[in-house]
Chain A
Amino acid sequence: MLLDIQVMRPDDYVGFTFFIGYMAMFAASVFFFFERGSVDDKWKLSLLISGLITGIAAVHYFYMRDYYLATGENPTFFRYVDWTLTVPLMCVEFYLLTRAAGATKSLLWKLIIASTWMLVCGYIGESFSDGTTAHSVTWGVLSTLGYIYILHAAWFGEVAQLAEKSNSDVVKRGVRTLAWFVLVGWAIYPIGYMCMDGGWLNTAMGWGSENVDLWYNIADAINKIGFGLVVYNIAVSESK
């Protein structure tokens, strides 16, 4: 086992957040799966998705922390595999919440395509860099377009309008809270992206590339677990 031979420094905050992230995601999954039984049938699928999001993340965090400990490098490959699976699932949550108000499959696919686009472009920008700024900026711009689409949908577009149309105040509040996650929580990821070598925060503010994973880990914990807890709160409130 790699873990048997690795020494963790007390000031290794990246390693610390990898361990915290892994256990938090794992615990959240157990919680969501167990709590599935305590909500109405119509909310079981939403909680299953929440559990899957944190579950998939927990498995990847398990690999990522070992990879980081063994090599000291950013586990970009695992990171993007995790995101490519979990972020579209977050978009599925939006669809499930607004389904009762008339959300269509086309909305679901638009959100999935936008989130996948955002991640694939981000992955190309981060992993296949030829060292030029043009590369990271071009793919950064393309990735941001996907994000802006989801942000708009959650705040003003189809998702927001469907939530307003729904008869439930809990759903309205829930979708609004999830929209805040997209606005504030997802905004943490670009901070990490710009800490890469050659990135603006790296060169202008002196934030080293070791901070990339720190920001990503913080963002993941907030967004994946927080997102799931909002959905859980809606499900419990609506099941009473």
Chain B
Amino acid sequence: MNRFTFIFVVCLYALFLVYQAFNTITLEQQLVYASFFILSFGIPHGAIDHILFFKKRSMTKLKFYVLYLGLIAVFVLLWLRFPLLSFLFFLILSAFHFGESQFADAKITLRSFNPLLFLFWGLALLATLMYYNIGELASITAYFQDTQDFAVVYNKDLFFYFFISTNFGTLILLLFFFIKNQISKRRFSSELFLIAIIHLTFFLFPFIIGFTLYFVVLHSIRVMNQEYLFLKSEDVNFSLVDFLKLLLPYSFLSIFFTSILLGLSHWGFLKISIPYLSIIIISVITLPHAIVMHIFYKK
């Protein structure tokens, strides 16, 4: 168990007690709390992509920003033209990104198998999250007019095979890496424990709460820690306060523009429901972020 899993376990106990107190938390309450935590931790973890990129690669600032924003624009267009395809692409991209951040600190030398492990680990995570909460997801999807097209994805039988195959594949790959001495016995047991606890979380809690808990603690805080340690390794005088100062302006900027878009949807200026718009916003900022982080981890 590492420190992030420890924080996750503590949060899990806290959630148990919250549920003990309230028994149920309405969808609106879930969305409010989840938004708060995702905006507070999720946005900052990708706020310094440009700084990390320029530490690893040389490129003119103009070219970087054109590419970064260009990717976002292309993905927005893709969403408008092919929503279902974009959604599936977003799921696969996120899966890889989650897996890559999970094993970023593992010193795996079998590089050709790395992407497979990252992808399977992330797909298993998303499949587990969706499989345990498929009824809830289907009802949320059916509730809004513009998300109804996604209902085709939430097929129980299809998800069962997806759930089984990705989890089984992940376990096989972990075992393979363990046998090949790529991960230690301690790391192997920690990974198995983490998978078990993720299953428990997604089984017990609603979709939004389960995902937020994973995304904030096991992904965002973990990635921010990796970023902080990297920047500290570049400059020994770099402190946590310096790191927070670095994150804040870009985070506020992102939150500001995200809020404007959500506000436009809320007041009817944008004819897209808030959940659908949220998925689009998250996915289009995930694309360049995942690419930058891939370069960051690779180098």
Question: CB within 8 Å of B: which residues of A?
Answer: 133-134, 136-137, 140-141, 144, 147-148, 151-152, 155-156, 176, 179, 183-184, 190, 194, 199-200, 203-204
Select A194's contact among B6, B10, B16, B186, beta carbons within 8 Å: B16
**B164 contacts A by Cβ under 8 Å:** no
Q: How far is the CB of B222 from chain A (nearest CB, A)?
A: 16
Q: Could you say which of B3, B13, B186, B193 contacts A148, with CB atoms under 8 Å apart?
A: B13
Closest chain-B Cβ to A209's Cβ sits at a distance in Å of 14
Interface string of B17-46 (1 = CB under 8 A from A): 101110110000000000000000000000
Q: Are A137 and B13 in contact (CB under 8 A)?
A: no
- Which single member of B9, B14, B20 contacts A200 (CB below 8 Å)? B20
List residues of chain A with CB within 8 A of the CB of B23: 133, 200, 203-204
A134-B21 in contact given A148-B13, A156-B6, A183-B9 (Cβ < 8 Å): yes
Task: Determine the residue in chain A with the shortest Cβ distance to B23.
Answer: A203
Docked-complex contact B10 and A148, CB < 8 angstroms? yes
- Knowing A133-B21, A137-B21, A183-B1, the reply to whether A200 touches B6 (Cβ < 8 A) is no
Cβ B1 vs Cβ A194 within 8 A:
no
Q: B6: which A residues are within 8 A, CB to CB?
A: 151-152, 155-156
Q: With CB as the reference atom, state the residue of chain B lying closest to A198.
A: B20
Majority secondary structure, A binding face: helix
Q: Given the complex, which residues of A lie within 8 Å of B14, measured CB to CB? A: 144
| Chain B residues proximal to chain A, CB less than 8 Å | 1, 3, 6, 9-10, 13-14, 16-17, 19-21, 23-24, 186, 193
Question: Chain B residues near A147 (CB, 8 Å)?
Answer: 13
Most A C-beta atoms less than 10 A away, residue of B6, B16, B20: B20
The interface residues of chain B, by DSSP majority, are classed as helix
Whole-angstrom distance between the alpha carbons of A199 and B19 in the complex? 9
Q: Considering the complex, give the chain B residue whose CB is closest to the CB of A191.
A: B16
16 CB < 8 A contacts A-B: A133-B20, A133-B21, A133-B23, A137-B17, A141-B17, A144-B13, A144-B17, A148-B13, A152-B6, A155-B1, A184-B193, A190-B16, A194-B16, A194-B20, A200-B23, A204-B19
A25 vs B186: C-alpha distance in the bound complex, in angstroms?
30
A residues within 8 A CB of B24?
204
Residue in A156, A176, A200 whose CB lies within 8 Å of B3: A156
Q: Which residues of B contact A134 (CB under 8 A)?
A: 21
The answer for the CA separation of A184 and B193 in the assembled complex, in Å, is 9
In the complex, what distance in Å separates the CA atom of A20 from the CA atom of B271?
64
Chain B residue contacts of A155, Cβ below 8 A: 1, 6
Q: Are A140 and B17 in contact (CB under 8 A)?
A: yes
Chain B residues whose CB sits within 8 angstroms of the CB of A199 once the complex forms = 20
Residues from chain B with Cβ under 8 Å of A148 in the complex: 10, 13
Contacts of A133 in B (CB 8 A): 20-21, 23
> 10 additional contacts, CB 8 Å, given A137-B17, A144-B13, A200-B23?
A133-B21, A133-B23, A136-B20, A137-B21, A141-B17, A151-B9, A155-B6, A184-B193, A199-B20, A200-B20
Write out the residue numbers on chain B whose beta carbons fall within 8 Å of the beta carbon of A204: 19, 23-24
Q: Which residues of A contact B10 (CB under 8 A)?
A: 148
Q: Which residue of A has the minimal Cβ distance to B24?
A: A204
Expressed in whole angstroms, the Cα–Cα distance for A151 and B16 within the complex equals 17
Nearest 10 pairs between A and B by C-beta? A137-B21, A200-B20, A200-B19, A137-B20, A144-B13, A140-B17, A141-B17, A203-B23, A137-B17, A133-B21
A190 contacts B13, C-beta separation under 8 Å: yes
How long is the Cα–Cα vector from A151 to B3 in the complex, in angstroms? 11
- Chain A nearest CB from B57 CB (Å) reads 35
Write the nearest CB–CB distance from B291 to chain A, whole angstroms. Answer: 34
